[in-house]
A and B are shown apart, each in its own frame.
Chain A
Amino acid sequence: MKFRYRRYAIMPSLDFPDGALYRPEVPLRVIGLDGSEILSALVDTGADVTLLPRSTQNAIGGSIDEAATSRIAGIGGREIEVMSGDVTLALECAGETLEWIARVRFIPDESSSDAGAILGHAGCLQFFRATFDGHAQDIELLPAPDFPGSLKRE
């Protein structure tokens, strides 16, 4: 599955003189007991875990493991406590759907900073071969041989 990078208009700067920011984001369907919703998720090879907004968990009826809290941190070092849960994730592209069950971390919406959802190693990238083409501005995600989910074709 190939996805085009998302393009955002930003203030022009030395790094982005044309005022265009490209990000490897993919439309991710998050499925729970009560329904599903689609988030534009940043594919981040530097993220150890997969992060979703807490309000998504509420909206879809995602399971929460109250006993499984953990701490995460980014640049700057500020740590936040997050809860874990299991949801079904799905990527859809050109008539194909990849679906798998993943353990994810739910972060408070106000902590989501500049990315609403992040696909990191645990829960996502561990199951894929990912190719980032910054020149063509697209990302290809192919399921690895041990992909734990299913591939459906229309």
Chain B
Amino acid sequence: MNSLERILAAVRFQPTDRTPFLPQLFGHAAVTAGIPLGDYLRDGSRLAAAQLLERRTYGTDGVFAFLDLGVETEALGSRLEYFGNRYPEVAEYALAPADDPGILTIPDPRRAGRMPEVLRALGELRRGVGDTALVIGAVAGPMTLAAQLYGIEAALYLAMDDPGRHAAALDLAMEVAIRYGRAQLAAGAHLVMVFDPAASPAVVPADFFRSRLQPRLARLLAALHEAGATATWLNIAGPTADILPHYADMGADIATFDYYVAPAEARRLLPHTCLVGNLKSLDCLDPAPAVIAAQARELTAAFATGGGFILSSGCEIPPEADAANLAALAEAARKG
């Protein structure tokens, strides 16, 4: 059973030879490769090489062509500030609080900002692993991109003070994600992870999610399915218990759950959806390999019967995570 077969078996709740392993290792691959994070985030070829090395180092079942949450907003006109070994920050948002999102045009992923670097990375990753491992693209979900266009504080006030204009921003963001996601699938991704941290119940109430975000996320996931995605993956961190039951209705085949939600609770809320999680990502910072290994074993055991589980973290494992922790995690996964 190769890595791709292992992941797809888990998605279909079929038996696997061991627990699939997809830790959210994005910028950490730059550290493993010994290159500055700032370079990794602006060069698709370097990203692809680093992700392939990360997979060889830790035995993961997939590779990620994810840069950071600034890609889409930069392509739409925001100005980013880059650093040597940190993720970039938005220095100037594409939209001022009074702006209508209609002034923006949906970017062409072949030309806009760093989107071409992501497409380049996906092509090289797919050529590198073929159909032996999962090649994962990523788009920002509508709530997150809307927040990245106005700034999150301005976007949240807008959501309440001018719901119509906020809805227009969400619609624009959804269209951006659909076009960018389709381009990623065409470039070689097996699937495109929808990453929407601003949709978390830690940020907005569950009824806000159901009324304003769920319909748009459903359309986005359907569009990715129609464009040939092997599966769909919705990744929202935080205390998601109130929204997890809706993931299946939205068409998510794979659902991230974070450390706030216990494994049994996540399974009860989503009995027929493949779950990905839920190690606490910052536990990987300070050296504690025995603790990390024990957590991984406990988590794997929780899903030993029934399947439909991929061992991972509930959020990104940060670039500064300790290598011994990740080695211990990888070893536990190999035995799991």
Chain A complexes with chain B: no
Give me the interface of B with A, judged by CB distance under 8 Å: none
Give me the interface of A with B, judged by CB distance under 8 Å: none
